[in-house]
């Protein structure tokens, strides 16, 4: 059980390291999906996430009658892509702050996953790096 998680983490980290050329990306994604499924179906619900805030965010959204899981999945994918860009391009100023009140954030992120700013805080963004005035 723990080996599935470890293998998935190693595979994921190797895939997004600088210099990765993208070969076999479909096979890697398929293997990651398989390992993730195996891990999540065999582990206790309270131990599925490294951060306790993730299940809190999900549970909070499940109580919302307008919650749509497929849209929340897309939000997690967008956040993942953004954070990968932060890691691979730390010199780019557009990744130094997050504008919570811009159209994209409001319509694509916050409207589909309430409380997602917590994820950015876990990634190291503080309140001074989150632009709430735009």
Q: What is the pLDDT along the chain (134 residues), one digit of tens a residue?
A: 568 778 888 888 777 666 666 677 778 888 888 888 888 888 887 787 888 898 889 889 999 888 999 999 899 989 988 888 888 888 888 888 888 888 888 888 988 999 888 998 988 887 655 554 43
pTM: 0.71
Q: How many separate domains does the chain show?
A: 2
**Do 64 and 118 reside in the same domain of the chain?**
yes
**Do 81 and 44 reside in the same domain of the chain?**
no
pLDDT of residue 71: 92
**Do 73 and 85 reside in the same domain of the chain?**
yes
pLDDT of residue 20: 65
Angle (deg, nearest 10), helices 2-15 and 25-42: 150
Which residues constitute the domain of residue 1? Answer: 1-48
User: Whole-angstrom Cα distance, residue 107 to residue 114?
Assistant: 11
pLDDT of residue 113: 92
User: Whole-angstrom Cα distance, residue 99 to residue 133?
Assistant: 8
- 70-93 burial, b if ≥16 CB within 10 A, otherwise e? eebeebbebbeeebeebeeeeeee
**Do 91 and 134 reside in the same domain of the chain?**
yes
Are 11 and 38 contacting, i.e. CB atoms less than 8 angstroms apart? no
Q: Which of 31, 48, 65 is the last residue of a domain?
A: 48
């Amino acid at each position: 059980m723990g080996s599935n998680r470890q293998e998935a983490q190693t595979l994921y980290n190797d895939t997004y390291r600088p210099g990765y050329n993208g070969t076999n990306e479909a096979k890697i994604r398929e293997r990651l999906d398989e390992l993730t499924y195996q891990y999540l179906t065999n582990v206790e619900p309270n131990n599925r996430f490294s951060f306790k805030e993730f299940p809190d965010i999900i549970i909070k959204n499940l109580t919302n009658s307008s919650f749509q899981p497929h849209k929340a999945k897309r939000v997690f994918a967008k956040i993942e892509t953004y954070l990968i860009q932060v890691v691979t391009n730390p010199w780019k100023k557009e990744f130094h702050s997050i504008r919570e009140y811009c159209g994209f954030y409001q319509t694509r992120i916050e409207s589909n996953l309430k409380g997602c700013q917590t994820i950015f805080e876990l990634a190291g963004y503080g309140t001074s790096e989150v632009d709430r005035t735009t």
